[in-house]
Amino acid sequence: MREIYKLLILAGIFLAAYFVPWAHPVVRQSGLEAFMMLREYAREHVLTCLIPAFFIAGAIATFVSQAAVLKYFGAQAKKIVSYSVASVSGTILAVCSCTVLPLFAGIYSRGAGIGPATAFLYSGPAINVLAIVLTARILGWQLGLARALGAVIFAVVTGLLMALIFRKDDAARAAGEIYLPDEDENGRALWQEALYMLVMVLILVFAAFARPASGSTGLWPAIFAAKWYITSGLLVVLGLMLRFWFTTGELKNWVDSTWWFMKQIFPLLWGGVLVAGFLLGRPGHPALIPESWVQSLVGGNSLWANLFASVSGALMYFATLTEVPILQGLLGAGMGRGPALALLLAGPALSLPNMLVIGGIMGWKKTAVFSGIIVVLSTIAGLVFGALIG
């Protein structure tokens, strides 16, 4: 099957080279915009933003046990515990809307309540730590913060609504426990692993610290001036932690996990950047799709614009992180920030392939209600966010 995919990719490249009218000025400009956007990402976001975030994701995947997260979804777990864990699990699992499906199927079939299970199903891809960081970095801290808060709130609200609507069906299901392996003991105290994670997060924060607006005074310019000194000091601290707290085997697993994330995500991200640049261009630089088209569909902050963005996001499949460059192009072409948030909240957690699989797991009625809740919540969140930021 993998060889067939390679053949299809090569065939697609050949057909594009053969049939696309590259001599046309608009197409030529669009091609230039695709690579200009790729250069922008490479220069401004890879070394100081994505690379640290990949190492954090690799550390989470290596040192945070998934069993420690999933075991709290059992029938005997307290609601406040199960919903709290489910709503933030995306920061630990860092998966896409399709990768989360086997995990969801496992916990649901083993007796997890419909509420915590669907809260987990939403939060797994929606609160991807890499996507939140990249959103804040490229689309602005307001959208990044709104996406993070909205995703956590949505996970809890969606789970509670599903549990309320299907409480009779849930009670009729077998209320068995979820059997998962125990956490491995590694000899480190919890505070050591927490401090290790905190140091890496601080490295990401200071390395990616943006230049303040021209003429600004106060704390932010001072932090920006000292960012590399602070980052260097944190790197030294991290090196000492790695030297004295972790074994060689653990460090190798960390690097392997980080590399797995990078090789899975980077090709998709670069492809998404090129496609977004070709179709939509960079802000202020038009490409193949006229800005008037975007403005007529998702411009402003109307109910229609937010609903259209939510439904479109729910049906489309976004590979991990590719929604960010696509939205960068849409925002530059005139998309409202409210509809942008609506798409960010509905898109990564849902897709048409995702819905088809969920339907086979928990039934089409539950799937339709689950998808409808997310679309409605995303539309409302977009309207509120668009009104608040003007």
Q: What is the pLDDT at residue 178?
A: 46
Q: Using CA atoms, how far apart are residues 359 and 366, in angstroms rounded to an integer?
A: 8
Interior angle at CA 321, CA 330 and CA 106, nearest 5: 130
In which band, very low, low, confident or very high, does the pLDDT at 177 lie, cut at 50, 70 and 90?
Answer: very low
Pairwise pLDDT comparison (315 vs 369), residue with the higher score: 369
pLDDT over 60 (residue 176): no
Interior angle at CA 348, CA 345 and CA 352, nearest 5: 115
User: What's the predicted TM-score (pTM) here?
Assistant: 0.64
Q: Of 117-126, 228-237, 372-381, where does mean pLDDT reach its minimum?
A: 117-126
Identify whether 214 is part of a domain. no
Identify whether 215 is part of a domain. no
Structural domains in the chain (count): 1
Identify whether 303 is part of a domain. yes
- In a 13 Å sphere around the CA of 44, the CA atoms on its Cβ side amount to 12
Identify whether 14 is part of a domain. no
The predicted model gives 374-390 an average pLDDT of: 90
Identify whether 102 is part of a domain. yes
Amino acid at 77: A
Closest CA to 322 of 269, 385, 252, 251: 269
C-alpha dihedral, 214 to 219 to 225 to 230, nearest 10°: -150
Q: What is the pLDDT at residue 65?
A: 60
Full residue range of the structural domain in which residue 327 is found: 23-178+187-208+221-389
Burial of 36 (0-12, 13-18, 19+ CB in 10 A): middle
> What is the percentage of the chain residues whose pLDDT exceeds 70?
80
Identify whether 4 is part of a domain. no
Q: What is the pLDDT at residue 98?
A: 57
Identify whether 382 is part of a domain. yes
Identify whether 7 is part of a domain. no
